């Protein structure tokens, strides 16, 4: 159990760091584009596209932190009204479904990423290899599934209050 807790912390620290770097890069590009557009009258043509891909990476990689804490958005108004045992069962089932959905979606996304890599397709303005932003999606979904499994195995899925952690 101690090993899993360490693995969980290491994985989350790495993913959170990468997600924060993606967000920071997006802010820097946006600031540079504002300066270029309004002060120098020379906008950065690839800025919007790069910021979009960085934001996608931020969301999918940062989603692992949310999944690990069990604080994702959920419609739990009725779950909160359930008796504790029923609430725990629903929470456990929700986490299991999260893992299954993440694994299935990641598996279906991988062939698309491979095709984009094989075709060597580039984005229009920034000329970013298109497999990179697309690869973040299955990677993020897989990370969310893994940290949810670690949360299930560690017993942290039990939230007796009925709300988010």
User: Domain residues of the chain, as ranges?
Assistant: 2-154
Residue % of the chain over a pLDDT of 70: 91
pLDDT higher than threshold 90 for residue 68: no
Per-residue pLDDT band for 158 (boundaries 50, 70, 90) equals low
The mean-pLDDT minimum among 23-32, 48-57, 144-153 falls in: 144-153
Distance CA 154, CA 38 (A): 52
φ, ψ at 139 (rounded to 5°):
-65, -45
CA trace torsion 41, 57, 5, 85 (10° rounding): 120
pLDDT of residue 88: 86
* pTM for the predicted model, two decimal places: 0.81
Q: Burial level of 118, CB count in 10 A (0-12/13-18/19+)?
A: exposed
Distance CA 99, CA 146 (A): 7
Per-residue pLDDT band for 161 (boundaries 50, 70, 90) equals very low
Which residues are registered as beta bridge partners of 122?
Answer: 129
Angle, vertex CA 157, rays to CA 151 and CA 161, nearest 5: 150
The more confidently predicted of residues 8 and 159 is 8
Per-residue pLDDT band for 152 (boundaries 50, 70, 90) equals confident
């Amino acid at each position: 159990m101690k090993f899993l807790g360490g693995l969980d912390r290491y994985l989350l620290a790495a993913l959170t760091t990468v997600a924060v770097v993606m967000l920071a890069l997006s802010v820097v590009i946006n600031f540079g584009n504002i300066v270029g557009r309004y002060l120098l009258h020379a906008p950065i043509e690839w800025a919007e596209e790069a910021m979009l891909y960085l934001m996608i990476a931020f969301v999918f990689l940062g989603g692992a932190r949310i999944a690990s804490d069990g604080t994702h958005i959920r419609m739990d108004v009725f779950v909160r009204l359930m008796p504790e045992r029923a609430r725990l069962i629903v929470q456990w089932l929700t986490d299991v479904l999260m893992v299954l959905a993440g694994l299935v979606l990641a598996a279906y996304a991988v062939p698309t990423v491979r095709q984009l890599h094989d075709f060597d397709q580039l984005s229009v303005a920034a000329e970013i290899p298109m497999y990179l932003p697309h690869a973040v999606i299955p990677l993020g979904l897989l990370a969310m599934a893994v940290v949810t499994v670690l949360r299930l195995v560690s017993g942290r899925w039990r939230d007796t209050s009925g709300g988010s952690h």
